[in-house]
Each structure stands twice: as structure tokens, then as C-alpha cells.
Amino acid sequence: MIPDHIATLAIAFIVAWVVIRWGAAILTLYALAHFLAGEWGEAALALLIATWLGVVKGCASWIHWNARGREAWLKQRTGVMLAERNRAYRGPWI
């Protein structure tokens, strides 16, 4: 049998992952349902949280790209530029 504290921790991690991964879409659908039902306050709050989740995920993606992907992209781009410069210097016949 799995101890209660380990099961609770595992469930909390799964719920956190689902909220981070699909939270904005789920909250947008939740907001739409409450909007159609006439519950404006809950719909506005859900849309606000969904927007916040989208912005946070976008910032995290941007930070990750700046930390990891940008250097690889710059190295690749610099290599392409050097190859073009070398080809222009040597001429098209080489």
C-alpha cells in the first residue's frame, strides 16, 4: 500500500503539471461556460487567471530560449554567415 503522504504528493505534482500544461485552455472553457450561464464574475476571474497563465508560460519559454536556444541559433547563424563570406571571397568556382 502506498503511504498517504506519498500519494498526496504524487497527485499534487500531477495536478500541477496538468494546470501548467493545459490550465489556460481549461480555464478559458470554464470561463465560457460561466459566461453563457450568466455568471459574469466567475467568468471574468477565470479569464484573468487563464491570461495570466498564458503570459507566465510565454515568459518562461522566452527565458528558456534566451538561456539555451539563442546561443545555438546564433552559432548556427554565424556559421551560415561565415560560409557565405568564405564562398564570396573564394569565388563561385571553388
Domain ranges of the chain: 4-90
Residue in 24, 93, 9 with CA at minimum distance from that of residue 55: 24
Q: Is 80 exceeded by the pLDDT of residue 53?
A: yes
Q: Is 70 exceeded by the pLDDT of residue 92?
A: no
Residue 11 pLDDT class (50, 70, 90 cuts): very high
How far is residue 37 from each of residues 10, 16, 33, 41, 92, measured CA to CA in Å? 34, 28, 6, 11, 69
Nearest-angstrom CA–CA distance, 66 and 74: 11
- Cell 499534487 maps to which residue? 12
Residue 82 pLDDT class (50, 70, 90 cuts): low
Q: Is 70 exceeded by the pLDDT of residue 83?
A: no
